[in-house]
Structure 1
């Protein structure tokens, strides 16, 4: 029998699955990516075919198995990470009865407002209902309809033909776990994000009170377990399709946010990481659940059930870069050309501003209707100045969010570990350090943080590490960017002007989205 010296991690995003094999020291042995479709049947609807996930998973895994000698026999355990907030209704065999309603889907927005509203509303919420959710979950469902609770009710009301056959309602990762192991199970973070979960310390289970509100039996939801718990062994059928060893342990795994937090390798309370991808999120480990009612900063149970993640999400980061690349006439994937354009611009106190609210915003202002803009453009403003402003605007927007975030996390000025595809840009990493006035540290292969976090849960399950804090040894720090005093002073002056823009232009918002 081959020595089991590898861990296998999967990361299911919105457009593709990444899969990677890791050695004990965190080095990537091999990696592959396979895309799948995003289905947009109507305005506000966003679906994916679960069979597409499985087909992509099989193709990517086979590519690794073909590239690495005896890979299937060398894998000690398997871990999964995935996008969160989806709903897949399945029958008793685990077969999907409907396409997945993924996190982008807002068809149930009216239902979300109905579930959370009342005769009197404060910021869109009925005070009594909001108080109940805050007490039980430490937060509340979004009014956008992006959360699982309103999607479940939509299926109840609009697909009565399917409802009698629904055995379980699963998130993305949990559907895949069922196909790998035959077990219906979810992690604490995914359960929390349904807003049907009692997140209070000592509880951490489905809430009878919240389930009763929507008439849903707990039996239609999966079991809840820790991220490093073994969901089961890889079934014979799944092993044959993937080219792996039957019985290989598969962990419960995590959602994408917790996977990034795990892979950041700084498990101490208050430790910060910033994920910089299509969107961005800022997260910190905290012992007690906290929430800022004035913004969308809130807490999510950590994937192993131990503590919480304080999270602030901004809608557009890399998405702003892609949008500006098209606007300024660059090729679709010419990120190097766009960065070179921005690097050629020397920043000044009176240069253009960019506000990255292209699809609304959650933090620092919770406003789905606000829209982005360039401001302070002059006849002298060229493509380089506009490209620079886009990078800077995302960073200034984050600084604004951190004013609230630091108060809740209690870690003002702490070093920020940078993850995600955007972290490959040393230009942007240095800009974040200068704008935020704090050190920023990158890691090797930051765009594989999801697969690494998943693999670290597998390392614990395989007995390589006693716990996730010990598995942090797999994280490989790369470089520290210290703030430049002169640039930091320039950005501090521009930040004061940046925050004054929103109150002046919110009256120009579209009437609906």
Structure 2
């Protein structure tokens, strides 16, 4: 979308932000009032070379960012000189070894990658155990980081060790180990920097309020050198300007400022405008999460829900992250044959789902297509349809997918609200999945909570980074001030007539999980033996 080009030609001092996700990069152009002037998107591939492996080529991100920058400037009809600053939100828990020039030595192991699972189990395991974690090791990790690397191997800690242990030639030439945003910041400005929210998710950073630095204790325990890690700077820090090469490839001016940015989680939380303590927001994209800002750290080891650093320097973000949400919809649309002009048609998928009755005639879908994180850290869980009959068609199956993701979120919300002393009501809703009005209503009905969908919910990450850039440039006094300017677009009230229906369906959802979890674990073990 864009506003009239005649108005844009008169606009000066624009902010360009990027949200680098799993399947594409979204770019959005903002003015001084943090209003959206134009936006564009560019896709790139996800590589799945082996079961449990998930990679992306850093060069694919960069080329997409360069293309989308040219596209958005042309769409907005503004000169590149109007862009005074750029900022990135990005997927987290990626691991990229780079040489002294910042050149990647291997594809990025993204957040979905589980190849380092045996290493993760080794470094956090032991006896006795709590939910798979070794009791002797828990206190140190929790005290310093308020968390611990998850057992699935999806966190950077075990991925870094995987490179060291399985690819010694690459490790020998590794100058720095970077996450997605860290790599892009270096590509733009030549500095190796990260932000507290991204550093925290390596579980190598001391996350206590008066610290927020790499932990010598944890690094020593894993025999890692701090020199291989980027410098930690605040989200609103201007880290420099574009290098001549980056300026030429992006088509921007060399004096364009680069702001340190944030993870997609922290950026979307800021873009949701839910900044009050314990005020919940829900993100629905390829994955899903529930989040709420808090003044202090908190963690529940049994559910995998805890606080991480947020974009605000004085508060944390309580997060319940779930692996698959919109990715389930895309998978189902493809599997069920919803195509138009040789492309997946989510509009046709939603239309079919909208024609099916609430509850889908007792058809269930379980969205664990890539395991689960919260409220149960279990990489062996798998999804699928259950109670499918000859009476069910594409319509019921499509709605069952939307309901299944909603039921899974309700499972996490029950745990999340127990950790929030005063959970905010209603819930702010952001992410690309929130563009579906049908899904928004299903979520409101299943959760039995009013949902406030912000304007342009799919651009929440870009908006969050625009607000932080406005603070960095001195256009706003604080992140709090900037976040209060976020506007709600639509409100979805729960249909009380569906309460009993979804309460019963949720009970069966949990019953299915309880009865089949051991079966999934046995079936999906790599060293599977005969089930007993």
**Shorter-chain-normalised TM-score: which range?**
over 0.9
Which one of 235, 244, 252 corresponds to residue 244 of structure 1? 252
TM-score w.r.t. length of structure 1: 0.95
- The residue number in structure 2 matching 1:503 is 514
Distance 2:48 2:447 in 1: 37
Report SS of the residue matched to 2:283.
strand
| Superposed counterparts of 1:115-194, under 5 Å | 115-194=123-202
Partner residue in 1 for 2:261: 253
Confirm or deny that 1:205 pairs with 2:213.
yes
CA distance in 2, matches of 1:27, 1:129: 48
1:408–1:53 CA distance, 2 compared to 1 (3 A): same
CA distance in 1, matches of 2:201, 2:274: 23
Which residue of structure 1 aligns with residue 273 of structure 2? 265
Higher RCO (CA 8 Å, separation ≥ 6 residues): 1
1:512 to 495, 519, 525: 525
Contact 2:278/2:423 (CA < 8 Å) preserved in 1? no
1:356-395 matches, within 5 Å, as 356-395=367-406
Shift in CA distance, 290/69, structure 1 to aligned 2, threshold 3 Å: same
Q: How far, CA to CA, are the matches of 1:310 and 1:477 in structure 2?
A: 22
Q: 2:167, 2:105 → 1: CA distance?
A: 10
Alignment RMSD: 2.1
Secondary structure of 2:298's aligned partner: coil
CA contact (8 A) 1:456 1:474 kept: no
- Matches of 2:362 and 2:170 in 1, distance apart? 56
- 2-side partners of 1:306 and 1:147: how far apart? 25
Partner-residue secondary structure (3-state), 2:428: strand
SS in 1 for 2:41: strand
The secondary structure found in structure 1 opposite 2:300 is coil
In the aligned structure 1, how far is the partner of 2:469 from the partner of 2:413?
33
Shift of 1:272: 1.5
Greater shift after overlay, 368-377 or 182-191?
368-377
Q: What's 2:3 paired with? A: none
- 1:347 equivalent among 345, 358, 376: 358
Unpaired runs of 5+ residues, structure 2, are 1-8, 527-532
Residue pair 2:84, 2:255 contacting (<8 A) in 1 also: no
Partner of 1:68: 76
Structure 1 residue 500, shift from structure 2 partner:
1.8
- In 2: Cα distance, 1:243 partner to 1:89 partner: 27
What TM-score results when the alignment is normalised by the length of structure 2?
A: 0.91
Equivalent residue number for residue 530 of structure 2: none
The verdict on how the C-alpha distance between 1:196 and 1:374 changes in structure 2, with shifts beyond 3 A counting, is same
| Residue in structure 1 matched with residue 465 of structure 2 by the alignment | 454
* Residue 486 of structure 1: aligned partner: 497
CA distance in 1, matches of 2:484, 2:81: 24
Identify the residue that residue 64 of structure 2 maps to in structure 1. Answer: 56
Tell me the CA shift for residue 259 of structure 1: 0.8
Sort the Cα spacing of 1:333 and 1:350 in 2 relative to 1 into closer, same or farther, 3 A: closer
Question: SS of the counterpart of 1:407?
Answer: helix
Matches within 5 A, 1:333-344: 333-344=344-355
Q: CA separation in 1, counterparts of 2:507 and 2:170? A: 54
Q: Which residue among 238, 241, 244 is the counterpart of 1:233?
A: 241
Asked whether the equivalents of residues 263 and 449 of structure 1 are also in contact (C-alpha less than 8 Å), the reply is yes
Change (3 A) 1:358 1:273: same
Indicate if the aligned counterparts of 1:76 and 1:462 stay in contact, CA closer than 8 A.
no
Alpha-carbon distance in structure 1 between the residues aligned to 2:445 and 2:160: 44
Q: Which runs of 5+ in 1 are unaligned?
A: none
Q: How far 1:348 moved relative to its partner? A: 5.3
Helix, strand or coil for the counterpart of 1:54?
Answer: helix
Give the aligned partner of residue 36 of structure 2.
28
Aligned-pair distance for 1:358?
A: 2.3
Alignment of structure 1 residues 37-52 onto 2, 5 Å: 37-52=45-60
